[in-house]
Amino acid sequence: MAESEVLLEVKDLKKWFPIKAGFFKHTVGYVYAVDGISFQIKRGQTMGLVGESGCGKSTTGRTILRLLERTDGQVIFDGQDLNDLSKEELRRIRPRIQIVFQDPYSSLSPRLPVGEIIGEAVREHGIVPEEEFDDYITRVMEVCGLPPYYKDRYPHEFSGGQRQRICIARALALSPDFIVCDEPVSALDVSIQAQIINLLKKLQKDYGLTYLFISHDLSVVEHISDTVGVMYLGNMVEFAETDEIFANPLHPYTKALFSAIPVPDPDVKIDRVILPGSIPSPANPPKGCKFHTRCEKCMAACTVKAPEWQEVEPGHWCACHLYNMDALTPEEKEPAMSDEAKDT
Amino acid sequence: MAENTKNGSKKKGASYLSARESRRITKYNRRVTKRLEKQRADANKDENLYTTKMKDEGNVVEFDNVCTYFFTDAGTVKAVDGVTFNVPKCSTVGVVGESGCGKSVTSLSLMQLLQRPQGQVVGGEIRFNKDDGTAYNIVNTPNEIMEKIRGNRISMIFQEPMTSLNPVFRIGAQVDEVLKLHNPDWTEEQIKERTLEMLDMVGIANKEGVYKMYPHELSGGMRQRVMIAIALACSPTLIIADEPTTALDVTIQAQILDLLQNLKDRLQSSIMLITHDLGVVAGMADYVVVMYAGRVIEKGTADDIFHHPSHPYTIGLMRSKPVVGKKVEELYNIPGSVPNPVDMPNYCYYKDRCEMHCDRCSGDYPPEIRISDTHVVSCWRYFDEGEVLGYPKSVNVEDL
**DSSP string computed for B259-326:** HHHHHHHHHT-EEEEEES-HHHHHHH-SEEEEEETTEEEEEEEHHHHHHS--SHHHHHHHHTS--TT-
Pairing mode of beta strands B295-301, B287-292: antiparallel
The whole-number average pLDDT for the span A138-158 is 88
CB contacts of A193 in chain B (<8 Å) are 320-321
pLDDT band at residue B277 under the 50/70/90 scheme: confident
Q: Give the gap in angstroms from C-alpha A274 to the nearest C-alpha of chain B.
A: 6
Question: Hey, are the CB atoms on A279 and B219 less than 8 Å from each other?
Answer: yes
Q: Give the gap in angstroms from C-alpha A278 to the nearest C-alpha of chain B.
A: 7
The whole-number average pLDDT for the span A45-50 is 93
Q: Per-residue pLDDT tens for B151-185?
A: 889 999 988 877 889 999 999 999 999 999 999 99
Question: Hey, are the CB atoms on B221 and A342 less than 8 Å from each other?
Answer: no
CB contacts of B254 in chain A (<8 Å) are 259-260, 262, 272, 274
From residue A131, how far is each of A115, A135, B67 by CA, in Å?
A: 15, 8, 55
CB contacts of B204 in chain A (<8 Å) are 343-344
Question: Hey, are the CB atoms on B322 and A219 less than 8 Å from each other?
Answer: yes
| Closest Cβ–Cβ partner in B210, B254, B322 for A272 | B254
Q: Is the C-alpha dihedral spanning B113, B117, B119, B125 positive or negative? A: positive
* Other CB atoms within 10 Å distance of the CB of residue A102: 19
Q: For all residues of chain B together, what is the average pLDDT?
A: 87
What pLDDT does residue A250 have? Answer: 92
Stretch 154-193 of chain B: residues touching chain A, C-beta under 8 Å? none
Q: Give the gap in angstroms from C-alpha B400 to the nearest C-alpha of chain A.
A: 32
Torsion region of B268: left, alpha or beta (phi above 0 gives left; psi -120 to 50 gives alpha): left
Q: Is the C-alpha dihedral spanning A246, A252, A253, A259 positive or negative? A: positive
Dihedral of CA atoms A221, A226, A230, A235 in degrees, nearest 10, equals -130
CB contacts of A216 in chain B (<8 Å) are 249-250
What pLDDT does residue B11 have? Answer: 44
User: Is the distance from CB of B31 to CB of B364 less than 8 angstroms?
Assistant: no
pLDDT band at residue A204 under the 50/70/90 scheme: very high
pLDDT band at residue B9 under the 50/70/90 scheme: very low
Adjacent-strand bridge partners of A49: A214, A229
The answer for residues whose C-beta is within 8 angstroms of residue A3's C-beta and 6 or more apart is A43
Is B13 a residue whose pLDDT tops 70? no
What pLDDT does residue A337 have? Answer: 60
The whole-number average pLDDT for the span A101-118 is 89
What pLDDT does residue B10 have? Answer: 43
The answer for residues whose C-beta is within 8 angstroms of residue A206's C-beta and 6 or more apart is A143
Given CB atoms, is B229 within the 8 Å cutoff of chain A?
no
Question: Hey, are the CB atoms on A190 and B279 less than 8 Å from each other?
Answer: no
Nearest CA in chain A to B11: A157
Q: Provide the whole-model pTM.
A: 0.84
| Closest Cβ–Cβ partner in A142, A149, A263 for B323 | A263
Q: Per-residue pLDDT tens for A68-103?
A: 888 999 999 988 898 888 889 999 899 999 999 888
Nearest CA in chain A to B15: A157
Percent of chain A with pLDDT over 70: 96
| Closest Cβ–Cβ partner in A53, A192, A264 for B278 | A264
Per-residue DSSP letters for A288-321? SSTTTTT-TT-BGGGGTSPPP-EEEETTEEE--G
Distance separating alpha carbons of residues B311 and B377, to the nearest angstrom = 6
Pairing mode of beta strands A310-313, A316-318: antiparallel
From residue B175, how far is each of B171, B223, B230 by CA, in Å?
A: 6, 12, 5
Q: Per-residue pLDDT tens for B207-252?
A: 899 999 999 888 888 888 899 999 988 889 999 999 888 877 888 8
Is A344 a residue whose pLDDT tops 80? no
pLDDT band at residue B335 under the 50/70/90 scheme: confident
Q: For all residues of chain A together, what is the average pLDDT?
A: 87
Q: Quick check: helix, strand or coil at residue B25?
A: helix
Stretch 267-326 of chain B: residues touching chain A, C-beta under 8 Å? 276-283, 285, 302-303, 306-307, 316-318, 320-325
Question: Hey, are the CB atoms on A219 and B321 less than 8 Å from each other?
Answer: yes
pLDDT band at residue B7 under the 50/70/90 scheme: very low
Question: Hey, are the CB atoms on B333 and A194 less than 8 Å from each other?
Answer: yes
